[in-house]
A and B are shown apart, each in its own frame.
Chain A
Amino acid sequence: MNSVTLAYSFDWSVVGPALPTLLDGLWLTLKISTIVIVASAVLGFPLAVARMSKIEVIRWPAQLYIEVFRCTPLLVQLLWVFYALPALLGVDLPGELSIIIALTAHLTAFMSETYRAGMQSVPVEQIEAAQMLRMNRVQILRHIIVPQAFRQQIPTILSLNVSMFKDTSLVSALGLADLTFQGNILSSQTYRPMEIFTLVALLYFAIAFPATLFTSYIERRLLTSGSRGAPPPASGLRGTLARIRPGQRPPSLANPSLKSLLKPEGV
């Protein structure tokens, strides 16, 4: 068998000294991501409610906001908030704050649409049943719609958050010392971009991959509970791990007695 010879010769000795700096960058990335995710999760809800309002003066601005942030590139939004907004308002915004504002504004638009989709997925008959039991609008929203909408959209919300975590790498273009920015600096200093950016990618992967696994796990749990109206396939980490290998079925499904579980309820 012929061996493959790489044109590039790796030197992994740069990794050890680079790691503390990269971890500093990762810490900043995680800090920004957490703030943005939490803020968007909160702000997305009133925006979703405004987007569904029957009152046009409330609904239209909400819709305009969502469409603007959905239909323009995130990097443009970052640049605009970073450079144009302070000039427009005549205030001096710290760079980190500008970036957090831009990322939050972006993610809030997507979160609100996710919430809206979840809320609108609750069958109208369930809401009418609550009305017939004399529950008021706030009670219906609090006890009937939001819990179901949230459950329905957990996988989408988690996916959005993972995407946001990765998208924070764009802030390196604005000089913020996140993980990507630190990797860029180190690669210039060591002339070893391949090793450094491989390590940077691994650090992103180390955070994002467990999050996506967790997303799949939650999705399966929701399917198993039947609260999303689908037949219950195998759940648990074992099934999730099996699912990430193309063409593979969860091992537990090999048991014929469990195949009946895949039949729709009542069949």
Chain B
Amino acid sequence: MTETNPILDKAPDTDSDAGPDGAFLRTRGVSKSFHGRPVLKEADFRIGSGEIAVLIGKSGSGKSTLLRVIAGLEEPDAGDIDLAGETVVHDGEYQDAWKDLRGQIGMIFQSYTLWPHMNVLDNLTIAPRLTLGESKGELLERAEQALTEVGMARHLRSRCTQLSGGERQRVAIARALMMRPRLLLCDEITSALDPPVAAEVLGVLTKLKEEEGIACGIVTHDMAFASKAADRICFFEDGLIKEDVPPEQAFNDPQTPGLRAFIDAVRF
């Protein structure tokens, strides 16, 4: 019997989430410019369910822009985006399926985006209460489960301002989980954290990938994590995805001069 996921309230079912090629998310030729300056150029990218794709590259290379386009925070200029086998963006235009499927995407940001005027419980429950119409009792139970998942169960009633940076990011992950995402996008979420705290946060993501089958797209400059947790490394340069390879290959046998130079620069 398949065990029900307490947070997602459903069994992880990677096959049904995936498109014909097994990818939960796929972008084809996605481009984005800001004030006439191309930042993302015809990006072909994919993440499968239960897979962590780590996006690396210099600042301004288009990594975060791709995540923001996938999340719907930036409108693409061109290209297609498929989510769970449905085309949600076609030739830069949002399709009807986007409204139904956008809820499957969760995003966690670099800066701590917990709402400081609410306690942890309210941070976790306000969005599902307003948008999913769930009862308070049900949400309390789910919030406890989500916080347990990220190792923050004892902070249910804590004020966000009392939490450390790592704790806030773990609560932010729990908050995203409350919306039952199948794809989690993380934009440099550990850049402001000490290495041990960053390892804790990234450990949570690895656990979610393995136990919940959540697809993760992570922008990070933490190469130690990238080498350990990533299933694939996507190297960005000048708005282009120059390499999309397993981490062993990215770190030991980079094919492009750009990735080679990048790896050499961050290796110590």
Does residue B45 face the partner (Cβ distance < 8 Å to A)? no
Q: Does A79 make an interface contact (CB < 8 A)? A: no
A227 within 8 A of B: yes
Give the contacting residue for A132; candidates B106, B111, B130; CB below 8 A.
B106
Question: When the two chains form their complex, are residues A125 and B113 in contact, meaning their CB atoms are under 8 A apart?
Answer: yes
Q: Min CB distance, B190 to chain A, in Å?
A: 14
Residues of A within 8 A of B116 (CB): 148, 226-227, 229
With A139-B130, A266-B164 known to touch, is A132 a contact of B107 (CB < 8 Å)? Answer: yes
In the complex, the answer to whether A143 meets B113 with C-beta atoms within 8 Å is no
A265 to B162: give the CA distance in the assembly, Å.
Answer: 9
Contact in complex: A148, B115 (CB < 8 Å) = yes
Q: Which chain A residues in 92-151 approach chain B with CB under 8 Å?
A: 123, 125-126, 128-135, 139, 143-144, 147-148, 151
Q: How far is the CA of A24 from the CA of B178 in the complex (A)?
A: 59
Partner among B103, B110, B117, B175 whose Cβ is within 8 Å of the Cβ of A134? B103
A229 to B110, CA, bound (A): 17
- Does A225 count as interface, using CB distance less than 8 angstroms? yes
In the complex, the chain A residue whose C-beta lies closest to that of B172 is A129
Which B residues are in CB contact (< 8 Å) with A125?
Answer: 109-111, 113
Interface residues of A in 69-92 (CB under 8 A from B): none
Contact partners of A130 in chain B: CB under 8 A = 115, 127
Whether the Cβ atoms of B127 and A135 lie closer than 8 Å is: yes
Interface residues on B, range: 20 to 34
Cβ of A225: which chain B residues have Cβ within 8 Å of it?
159, 161
In the complex, which residues of chain A have a beta carbon less than 8 angstroms from the beta carbon of B105? 132
Give the chain B neighbours of A132 by CB distance below 8 A: 71, 73, 105-107, 176
Instruction: Judge if B126 is at the interface, Cβ distance under 8 Å.
Output: yes
Min CB distance, B102 to chain A, in Å?
7
Are the C-beta atoms of B127 and A133 separated by less than 8 Å?
yes
Which A-chain residue is minimally distant from B132 (CB atoms)?
A134
Asked if B23 CB lies within 8 Å of chain A CBs, one says no
> What per-residue 1/0 map shows which CB atoms of A223-267 lie under 8 Å from chain B?
001110100000000000000000000000000000000000110
Partner of A133, one of B109, B131, B162: B131
Q: Are B179 and A133 in contact (CB under 8 A)?
A: yes
- Whether B113 and A129, one on each chain, are in contact in the complex, defined by CB atoms closer than 8 angstroms, is yes
Residue from B107, B161, B172 whose CB has the most chain A CB atoms within 10 Å = B161
A125 to B168, CA, bound (A): 14
Contact A144:B103 (CB < 8 A) given known A128-B73, A134-B131, A266-B165: no
Q: Considering the complex, give the chain A residue whose CB is closest to the CB of B128.
A: A133
State A105–B103 Cα separation when bound (angstroms): 44
Asked if residues A134 and B127 are in contact (CB atoms below 8 Å), the reply is yes
Bound-state Cα–Cα, A246 to B183, Å: 56
Residue from B109, B115, B172 in contact with A144 in the complex, judged by beta carbons closer than 8 Å: B115
- How far does the Cβ of B252 sit from chain A's closest Cβ, in whole Å? 36
With A133-B175, A133-B179, A227-B161 given, is the CB distance from A148 to B117 under 8 Å? yes
Among B110, B131, B172, B178, chain A packs the most CB atoms within 10 A around the CB of B131
Q: Can you name 11 extra interface pairs (CB under 8 A) apart from A125-B111, A128-B73?
A: A123-B111, A126-B115, A128-B109, A131-B72, A132-B73, A132-B105, A133-B127, A134-B131, A147-B117, A226-B161, A227-B117
Nearest first, the 4 closest Cβ-Cβ pairs linking A and B are: A226-B161, A133-B127, A129-B113, A132-B107
